[in-house]
Amino acid sequence: MPERTKRDIVAGFNRLIARAEIEKITTRMIAAEAEVSKATFYRYFRDKYDVLNYNYKQLLDEALGRCDNYRDLFYELYSFARNEWTSFRRAFYTTGVNSLENFVYSYSKSVVEQITAQNRGGKPLTPEENMQADVLCYGISYMYKKWTLGQYPLEPDAAADALYALMPESLKDLWFTN
């Protein structure tokens, strides 16, 4: 039941963001759309930005389970944004600490760190790899935002190829698990 309630809240949020800018969406609106009380909403999420970010987390986690390499992962993410363009575009208009761009960076970086440690028996990124991961994850989040907002007229395949080409060769296999 708790997972179903969480899914209902996310689905309610997704219906709302398809119709309205995030600034106009309130937690009260999300709770009403999901047919739950505000208290129930707050059992699962801190605020509307937490729901927004959870959406991306789910997307990335599910895509990681389906992909064998980073190029395919990038393609999945771009294809999703293309299919959900209105909602994703609205989500990327958030700014500041709660921005989707910041969450994409921080969550992607944490995934890279976890995958690396897992593949190395607990050993973390080296300082050089950490710097590369920061640059790559931040750059990817920024480019993903710009592409979603229509600033790069590329198809998902071309965008995925362009990002994959930026990855250091030494890290392409290290950062990914099957």
CATH code of 10's domain:
1.10.10
Question: For residues 139 and 14, what is the distance between their CA atoms, to the nearest angstrom?
Answer: 26
Q: Are residues 18 and 104 in the same domain?
A: no
Residue 159 and residue 153 in contact, taking contact as beta carbons nearer than 8 Å: no
Q: What is the largest CA-CA distance in the chain?
A: 50
More confident residue, 116 or 17: 17
Question: For residues 119 and 113, what is the distance between their CA atoms, to the nearest angstrom?
Answer: 10
pTM equals 0.85
Closest CA to 17 of 83, 94, 87, 92: 87
Q: Are residues 39 and 53 in the same domain?
A: no
Question: For residues 75 and 158, what is the distance between their CA atoms, to the nearest angstrom?
Answer: 9
Q: Are residues 146 and 107 in the same domain?
A: yes
Residue 103 lies in domain: 49-172
| Weakest-pLDDT range from 4-8, 126-130, 156-160, 171-175 | 171-175
Tell me what the mean pLDDT of segment 157-177 comes to.
Answer: 80
177 in a structural domain:
no
Tell me what the mean pLDDT of segment 105-109 comes to.
Answer: 92
Band of the pLDDT at 178, cuts 50, 70, 90?
Answer: very low
pLDDT at 75 over 70: yes
Residue 104 and residue 163 in contact, taking contact as beta carbons nearer than 8 Å: no
133 in a structural domain:
yes
Number of structural domains, the chain? 2
For 6-45, the pLDDT digits (tens) are 999 999 999 999 999 999 999 999 999 999 999 999 999 9
24 in a structural domain:
yes
| Weakest-pLDDT range from 67-81, 133-147, 161-175 | 161-175
More confident residue, 54 or 170: 54
178 in a structural domain:
no
CA distances from 84 to 78, 79, 170 (A): 10, 9, 33
Gyration radius of the chain's alpha carbons: 17
Kindly report the number of other CB atoms within 10 A of residue 51's CB atom. Answer: 25
Residue 63 and residue 73 in contact, taking contact as beta carbons nearer than 8 Å: yes
Tell me what the mean pLDDT of segment 141-148 comes to.
Answer: 91
pLDDT at 47 over 90: yes
Question: For residues 84 and 48, what is the distance between their CA atoms, to the nearest angstrom?
Answer: 18
